[in-house]
Amino acid sequence: MALWGISRARRALSGKIVAAAEKSVTKSGIANAEVLSAMHIADIERRMAQTAMVGLDLIVVYAVLTFVLRQFPYTRPWGESLRAFLLTTVENLGLGMLNAVPGLFTAVLIFLFTRAVIRVLGLWFHAVETGRVTPLWLFPETAQPTRRLATALLWTFAAVVAYPYLPGSQTEAFKGASVFLGLMVTFGSSGLVSQIVSGFTLTYSRALRLGDFVRIGDVEGTVTHLGVLSTKVKTVWNEDVTIPNAVVVAQTTTDYSRLGDTEGVFIPTSVTIGYDTPWRQVHAMLLQAAERTPGLRREPKPRVLQASLEDFYVKYTLFACLERQDQRPFVLDALHANIQDVFNEYGVQIMSPNYVIDPAAPKVVLKKDWYAAPAAGETPPHKS
């Protein structure tokens, strides 16, 4: 009779619980009935109610079995033992819960104190990040990762201190679970630890900053994320590249933005011209092309160097500073176009001559042509 009543109550209660949950969720606007059905929330609640009712069924069966066995002399010892086991189990559970209250209270106090300390540290680190506080040992760009590191260490320390006060911490099952977790961390964290240490190296060496235009190996772009495990770079072609921190540390990193806004970072581009073209003219034409190119800074001024004297030609390298480092390929494209236009205007071929035999006339520049246009300077007197 009791089992039949529990079964009827289970069906009725299950339907009411699901209906009430659906009504409260849909009324609050969190989700609609279709979303709840897709997430199987109603099924989960129904199964939880069924599990609770099955537990009540087992309790009723145990009580009935104990009562029936105690009614007969032959089975009365079994009924008494079942009754004693039930009472002992309930007593042990109750005493265990009462004994666990002081430990739980101590653990809660430890976690609450840790939370308060972390909040105070968070306010201080936020002040450092915004520049309101300027300690000598901490920079604004390292304040946020330092706060995260300090928070993780404090919570870990709190967990270690509170561990002995947790209920069941001295049991063999709890110790076995701790050993298993430790083995998992030991065998699975070798690569993870390497990435984390590399992330700390990048952060505290201040090698990279958010928004910097950098080259890491073969990847060139703007740093969009500095994480504990990886660094994200957005290229000029809108490619989102994720690089593990261990790879970043192992490769050469060039930061074009660190001095690009102050002293200026020079970018080179080279041409090779024959020895029969006046070097002063080549210098002037390259500087003129730089003046025509938008996106190049006027200060510091562009300059031309004769990088090398090769077997058949001279290698000239033009150095200029960009206004925006993330526009590097587009500014270089415009600069190369202007170099070709200027050389065409003055009739100078951009070519690297190679000879099979010696030329009939020596390939030299006469003194009267040393300052050929657009080179500036006085033309030396020519003796006829």
What tokens were used for 370?
A: 């040393």
- The rounded mean pLDDT for the chain is 78
Q: Is the pLDDT of residue 384 over 60?
A: no
Report the CATH fold assignment for 202-255: SH3 type barrels. (2.30.30)
44: which residues sit within 8 A by CB, 6+ positions away? none
Name the residue ranges covered by the structural domains of the chain. 2-101, 202-255, 266-369
DSSP sequence for 269-318: EEEEEETTS-HHHHHHHHHHHHHH-TTB-SSSPPEEEEEEE-SSEEEEEE
The whole-number pLDDT of residue 117 equals 92
The whole-number pLDDT of residue 358 equals 64
At 266-292, the pLDDT tens digits run: 889 999 998 888 999 999 999 999 999
| Burial (Cβ within 10 Å: 0-12, 13-18, ≥19) of residue 364 | exposed
**Lowest-confidence pick of 98-102, 104-108, 291-295:** 98-102
At 306-347, the pLDDT tens digits run: 999 988 899 999 999 988 888 888 999 999 999 999 998 888
> CB of 321 within 8 A of CB of 331?
no
The whole-number pLDDT of residue 382 equals 47
Fold match flag (202-255 vs 266-369): no
**Lowest-confidence pick of 114-123, 198-207, 293-302:** 198-207
Instruction: State how far the Cα of 250 lies from the Cα of 222, in Å rounded to an integer.
Output: 19
> Alpha-carbon dihedral of residues 66, 67, 68, 70, nearest 10 degrees?
80
**Lowest-confidence pick of 12-16, 199-203, 272-276, 306-310:** 12-16
124: which residues sit within 8 A by CB, 6+ positions away? 133
Only one residue has tokens 């849909």, namely 26
pTM of the model: 0.56
Q: Which CATH class is domain 266-369?
A: alpha beta
Q: Which of 162-176, 204-218, 361-375 has maximum average pLDDT?
A: 204-218
Q: Is the pLDDT of residue 129 over 70?
A: yes
Instruction: State how far the Cα of 251 lies from the Cα of 257, in Å rounded to an integer.
Output: 18
At 52-67, the pLDDT tens digits run: 767 777 777 777 777 7
Q: What is the mean pLDDT of residues 360-372?
A: 74
Is the Cα torsion angle 283, 300, 221, 331 positive or negative in sign? negative
Q: Is the pLDDT of residue 154 over 60?
A: yes
Q: Is the pLDDT of residue 253 over 80?
A: yes
pLDDT-derived band of residue 13, with 50, 70 and 90 as boundaries? low
Only one residue has tokens 């246009």, namely 373
**Lowest-confidence pick of 67-76, 123-132, 186-195:** 186-195
Q: What is the mean pLDDT of residues 166-180?
A: 71
Q: Is the pLDDT of residue 383 over 60?
A: no
